[in-house]
Amino acid sequence: MGAGLNKGITLKEKISYGLGDVGNNFLFDMGQIYLLKFYTDSLGLPATTAGLVFLVTKLWDGFADLAVGTWIDNRKNIGKRGKFRPFMLYAALPLSLMTVVSFTTPDFDLTGRTVWAFATYMTFGTVYSIFNIPYGSMIPAMTRNTVERSDLASMRWAGANTGLLLTTVGFMPIVTAFDNMQTGYTVAAAVFAFAGLALQLTCYANVKERHVDVKRQKEQISLKVGFASIFRNMPLLVLCLVNLFTFSAFNVKLAVQVYYCQYSLNDINIVPYMGFFSILCVFIGVAFVPLSVRRTGKKMTYVLGCLIWAIADLSAWFLANDTFDFIVLSCVAFFGSSFINTLNWVFVSDAVEFGEWKTGKRLEGLVYSFFTFFRKFSQAIAGFIPGVVLAVAGYIPNQEQTSAALTGIRGLMFIYPGVLAVATFIVMLFCYKLSDKRYNEIIGELAQRRNRKVQ
């Protein structure tokens, strides 16, 4: 990469890109961590119905991601705001409003509240796709330098975990400050939603697109051709599979930890402390990733994270019987997961180049949205499975739980993510073949192709 390609990537821009995911996660994490509990305990939905809301809406969101990705790749008129940034600008305010609406309790009967939950969360997910797919797709348009991409991915994951940390620590204290918890949920959602809006707009204002080939936009790519290219992209397919495992595991932990603290450890106020220390360990992991990548490569760093995560969660099934042990083992598990979640964004950018090298078609939007489709599918599983398990185990909101319900909560908290971390370790170790050396060779070949076209 020539030096000229790197001049525009400033520290301010990297930080601003990371702030975009702080804002995203203020909005997104409220749903992943607290919406299931809001549905069961405040909106009054049966646990199975609440799980079904997550299953259906997240599958809907996955198809919305694909539609938005195709929309982006087939844009013809690229204006001064760029290929990706306009989506972020116009979706930000509606997204914050829908976040608040999702945490309101209308005076409807059970059927009406069920319809309300489906409608509001599906709308939220659709608007989130319109913002998030362009946001995540634009790293290849910002820089072609692999080091800078790793920096942006690290900033993004640091931003995501800052959002997760602040949401975990700050949301429930706002809710419990109100005598009426339904009001508390709405107020807490509003505080984080509009803080998220400010950060998303800061990101929009400070990031730049440098590598958008406007001439290529004149060639529309059909969905059939696009998917034919996607299914020839083996690194992307492996990445999608392991994300189906890891993101499902991660989101089940986030959703169930509130239940575990309240009913197994008998203190819901532990949630902010657990969140603080475990996410602090995520930041330590994010800082450790570049050092590990330089020494062992991206793939081996990824599988090392899987191994640490699996050992911590499977050990917690036997050992996490009090608050101290729970927090310590959660910290270790989140430390391991930070390797995986940081490198995902680097791998998906690598998959864009691999796909272009393999098929001759550069499909940032479709590659990223195909990847997020599997993440949304994993979120659907992560919302549905806890609802079903809680219902089968006999969970009753705001009461002392039976031993069966407590076992179900504990299994969701530790066994489910631990087993999926092991599965990810195996698949990534034996099936992901795009080494760092091969990736650099592909980048060189693509540069030669572009130079020949210019000449």
How far apart, in whole angstroms, are the C-alpha atoms of residue 364 and residue 368?
6
pLDDT at 55 over 70: yes
Please state whether 266 falls in left (phi above 0), alpha (psi between -120 and 50) or beta.
left
Q: What pLDDT sits at residue 430?
A: 95
pLDDT level of residue 213 (50, 70, 90 thresholds): low
How far apart, in whole angstroms, are the C-alpha atoms of residue 121 and residue 54?
8
pLDDT at 360 over 90: no
Tokens 């080939």 belong to residue: 213
Q: For the chain, what percent of residues have pLDDT higher than 70? A: 95
Q: What pLDDT sits at residue 215?
A: 53
Half-sphere exposure of residue 147, counting CA atoms within 13 Å on the CB side? Answer: 8
pLDDT at 7 over 80: no
How far apart, in whole angstroms, are the C-alpha atoms of residue 161 and residue 172?
17
Out of 24-28, 114-118, 145-149, pick the least confident. Answer: 145-149
pLDDT at 330 over 50: yes
- Number of H helices and number of E strands within the chain? 17, 0
pLDDT at 1 over 60: no
pLDDT at 217 over 70: no
Per residue in 228-244, pLDDT tens?
888 899 999 999 999 99
Distance in Å from the first CA to the final CA of the chain: 18
- Of the ranges 92-96, 154-158, 174-178, 294-298, which is most confident? 92-96
Q: What pLDDT sits at residue 113?
A: 94
Please state whether 394 falls in left (phi above 0), alpha (psi between -120 and 50) or beta.
left
User: What average pLDDT does range 98-122 have in this prediction?
Assistant: 93
User: What average pLDDT does range 369-398 have in this prediction?
Assistant: 83
Q: What pLDDT sits at residue 3?
A: 36
How far apart, in whole angstroms, are the C-alpha atoms of residue 335 and residue 394?
33
Q: What pLDDT sits at residue 2?
A: 38
pLDDT at 8 over 80: no
How far apart, in whole angstroms, are the C-alpha atoms of residue 64 and residue 356?
24
What's the token pair of residue 90? 């116009």
Per residue in 331-341, pLDDT tens?
999 999 989 98
- CA of residue 198 relative to chain centroid, distance: 20
Sorted by sequence, the CB contacts under 8 Å of residue 207 that are 6+ apart come out as: 13, 16, 17, 20, 85, 138, 142
Average pLDDT, the chain: 86
CA distances from 212 to 10, 161, 169, 207, 216 (A): 19, 29, 39, 14, 9
CA distances from 28 to 76, 108, 314, 361, 396 (A): 30, 25, 27, 31, 26
CB distance 229 to 70 below 8 Å: no
How far apart, in whole angstroms, are the C-alpha atoms of residue 257 and residue 231?
36
CB distance 59 to 376 below 8 Å: yes
User: What average pLDDT does range 158-187 have in this prediction?
Assistant: 87
Tokens 């039976």 belong to residue: 402
Instruction: For residue 79, list its beta bridge partners.
Output: 82
CA distances from 318 to 165, 335, 410 (A): 26, 20, 10
Residue 349: closest CA among 68, 88, 146, 75: 146
The interaxial angle of helices 47-73 and 223-230, nearest 10 deg, is 100
Q: What pLDDT sits at residue 220?
A: 62
DSSP summary character for residue 215: G
Please say whether the dihedral angle defined by the alpha carbons of residues 152, 155, 161 and 162, taken in this order, is positive or negative: negative
Q: What pLDDT sits at residue 100?
A: 94
Buried b (16+ CB within 10 A) or exposed e, 5-21: eeeebeeebbebbbbbb
DSSP summary character for residue 402: P
Sorted by sequence, the CB contacts under 8 Å of residue 422 that are 6+ apart come out as: 306, 310
pLDDT level of residue 212 (50, 70, 90 thresholds): low
- Of the ranges 110-114, 381-385, 441-445, which is most confident? 110-114
User: What average pLDDT does range 127-152 have in this prediction?
Assistant: 83
Tokens 């259906």 belong to residue: 56
- CA of residue 44 relative to chain centroid, distance: 27
Phi, psi for 82 (deg, rounded to 5): 105, -175
CA distances from 397 to 8, 42, 333 (A): 53, 9, 28
